[in-house]
Structure formats: structure tokens, C-alpha cells
Amino acid sequence: MRHSRPLIRVLAICLVAAAVVGTSGCKWFRKGSELYAASPENRPLEVPPDLDRPDTSGAMQLPETGTGTVTRSTMPAAGSTQPNGFPVAGEVDAVFARVGEVLAATEGLTVVNRAQLLGTYDVDYGDAKFLVRVTRTDTGAYVAAVDPRGLPASGEPPQRLIAALRAALAGG
């Protein structure tokens, strides 16, 4: 009986050691996820399923149309007289050059920028800043004063300049 007591102690110590090793975090006895092993800042972002794509429920809805047809033209007919523009017979590049000559000779006018590809002169005249635009039409060219948004320029300086351009280009 004397011999069995030390044997029981050794077995108890081995069992306790195995239990401690098994529960202490030994890699052999533990299953773990590599996904959550990293710090919280490095974990992948979890997005709910309904938030991972944009809302496309109203993407293809067309506006309602009425029975009437609306047309918009930025260039009036050739015979009409507008305070902010007028038609000119001739090639667009030639008309653009003639407009540039008249603008250079106009007193109190500063040409800030000119873009022949766009057919525009950016001008300061009086107390207004606007564009003088030369565009191609079926019958030649159309010279107009427009604001930077492309809408007809309003006010007295653009109208006065267009009247001066109309008079100068009609005689040339």
C-alpha cells in the first residue's frame, strides 16, 4: 500500500499538469480563428447586406411627358433681330477674325481671353463681364453675347456691344 500512494500522487500531478496545459492556451488543444486573431483595427469591415450596394430602385424611372412638345433653340431664325445676337453671312473662322478686329478697336473694352476653337471672346465692357460667341449656322455664323453659363447676357453693355458689332459687320 505504501507503493500505491506515490503512484496516485504522480498520476494526480500529471492529470493536473495536463489540465493546466490544456486550458492555458496551448495551441495544440485550442481551435482558433485567424480572422479574430488580429487587433480590432485590422479586422475586415463587416457591412450589412442591404448597405453594400447603392439604392437603384428609382434609377430607371423616366420623367412623365405631356402631350405638348417643347423645343429650345439658342439661335433665333436668320431674319429675327435679338438684342443679344445676330446672324452674319460668311465662314465662321472669317467672322471670328472680323469680330476680333472690331473688339480690339472698341473703346473701353478689354479682351480677357479668346478661344477660337470654342468661338468665344471673354470680354470686360463697361461694368459687365460676358462672352462674345461666334457659332456656325446653316446660313453662315451667329454672333451673340452670352454669360459664362451660356445664357443670353443681359444688361446695357452687352446690348450696346452687339449693336456695335452688328453695325460693323454689316458693312464689311
Q: Looking at the domain assignment, is residue 114 inside a domain?
A: yes
Q: What pLDDT was estimated at residue 91?
A: 92
pLDDT reading at 67 higher than 50: no
Q: Looking at the domain assignment, is residue 133 inside a domain?
A: yes
Per the structure, the complete domain to which residue 155 belongs is given by: 85-171
Q: Looking at the domain assignment, is residue 91 inside a domain?
A: yes
Q: Looking at the domain assignment, is residue 24 inside a domain?
A: no
Q: What pLDDT was estimated at residue 77?
A: 46
Q: Looking at the domain assignment, is residue 127 inside a domain?
A: yes
Q: Looking at the domain assignment, is residue 30 inside a domain?
A: no
What is the pLDDT of the chain when averaged over all its residues? 78
Q: Looking at the domain assignment, is residue 107 inside a domain?
A: yes
pLDDT reading at 47 higher than 50: yes
Is 15 in a helix, a strand, or coil?
helix
How confident is the model over 33-60, as a mean pLDDT? 71
- The count of structural domains within the chain is 1
Question: Which residues have CB under 8 Å from 100's CB, separation 6+?
Answer: 111, 114, 121
Q: For residue 134, what is the domain's CATH number?
A: 3.30.310.170
How confident is the model over 77-105, as a mean pLDDT? 82
